[in-house]
Amino acid sequence: MKLRRFLQQIAEIYQFVTRVVKNFFLPPYEGREILRQCFFVGNRSLFLITFTAFIAGVVFTRQSRPSLASFGAESWLPSLVSQAVVRSLGPLITGLICAGKLGSNIGAELGSMQVSEQIDAMEVSGTRPFSYLVVSRVTATTLMLPLLVIYADVVALLGSFMMVNFFNSSSFSLFFNEVATNVTYVDVFSSLIKSAFFGFAIGIVGSYAGYHSEKGTTGVGKAANTAVVVAMIMIFVIDLLSLQFINLFR
């Protein structure tokens, strides 16, 4: 019985994803709502991403320095940090923060709309809520995550530069020249594409949990919780899969 329910849910999620993709290309196009959601996505997570990425840059540099110093390879620090930040740390930190912040937000918002019959009210008034509520949110998270990752990378590298500068006086241009030399186009593009998938997963999981929320206040809580947990798991799975895929091009 549990297996049957599980398989049913997989089929439902598949249908939901195809409906989102299909509705993205079909009118009505929700340009205005997508822009509004993009603003919310950036606005909601910017502070937390700034704070966390900066700390991550500082801590990673602080912890890597002694190991490199013991080999006399301290000058490799910008190279190591930049590759770690661009390839993995930046997207992962941004993805996890957005999964927590945006996933719960989307799940709870759509969940409470479902419970209070607001989605039904849109449906019966012929306003096609799926495009308005779901497609716009999924598009916004998919578009905004890569931008937030670029921002997180820059902030983390600034944190790293401050730490490097704290121990050995180093010029800003020298540090970022080293970064630019060691980061390849494959690193940058693979990181951006991966983060777009993170955004898609966060939007889909949050919207699915909220749109199919059970009735009652517990239903809303459950939707928010499911959105966060599943989105976080999805981020690690996508990260792992993308790593295998990207290695084919390196």
Partner 1 sequence: MRVTENDIVRKTSAVNHDRQVVASIRDLHKSFGERDVLKGVNLDLYESENLVILGRSGTGKSVLIKCMVGLIKPDSGTINVLGKDVFKLNAKELNQLRLQIGFSFQGSALYDSMTIRENLEFPLKRNLGVYDKNKLKDLVSEALDDVGLLHTINQMPAELSGGMKKRVGIARTLILKPKIMLYDEPTAGLDPITSMEINDLILSVREKYKTSSIIITHDISSAKHTSDRIVALIGGVNRVEGTFEELKETTEPELEPFFKY
Q: Binding partner 1 by CB under 8 A: which of 8, 15, 18, 127? A: 127
Provide the CA 69 distance to its chain's centre, in angstroms: 34
Q: Binding partner 1 by CB under 8 A: which of 15, 123, 181, 186? A: 123
Sign of CA dihedral 77, 78, 80, 86: positive
Size of the site for partner 1 (CB under 8 A): 16
**Sites for partner 1 among residues 131-190 (CB under 8 A):** 132
**CA gap 150, 193 in Å, rounded:** 12
Q: Which is nearer to partner 1, 125 or 244 (CB)?
A: 125
Q: Binding partner 1 by CB under 8 A: which of 128, 176, 225, 246? A: 128
Does 28 sit behind a cis peptide bond, omega within 30 degrees of 0 on the bond before it?
Answer: yes
**CA gap 162, 169 in Å, rounded:** 10
Is residue 117 close enough to count as binding partner 1 by CB under 8 A? yes
The alpha carbon torsion through 132, 138, 143, 146 (nearest 10 deg) reads 160
Is residue 126 close enough to count as binding partner 1 by CB under 8 A? yes
Q: Binding partner 1 by CB under 8 A: which of 83, 88, 118, 225? A: 118
Q: Which is nearer to partner 1, 26 or 46 (CB)?
A: 26
Is residue 120 close enough to count as binding partner 1 by CB under 8 A? yes
Is residue 12 close enough to count as binding partner 1 by CB under 8 A? no
Q: Binding partner 1 by CB under 8 A: which of 43, 125, 173, 247? A: 125
Residue among 87, 166, 71 at smallest CA distance from 79: 87
What tokens does 187 get?
């690193």
Is residue 27 close enough to count as binding partner 1 by CB under 8 A? no
Is residue 18 close enough to count as binding partner 1 by CB under 8 A? no
**CA gap 115, 107 in Å, rounded:** 12
Q: Binding partner 1 by CB under 8 A: which of 21, 35, 121, 240? A: 121
Collect all residues with Cβ–Cβ distance below 8 Å to 17 and sequence separation of at least 6: 204
Query: Which residues lie near partner 1 (CB under 8 A)?
Result: 28, 112-113, 116-118, 120-128, 132
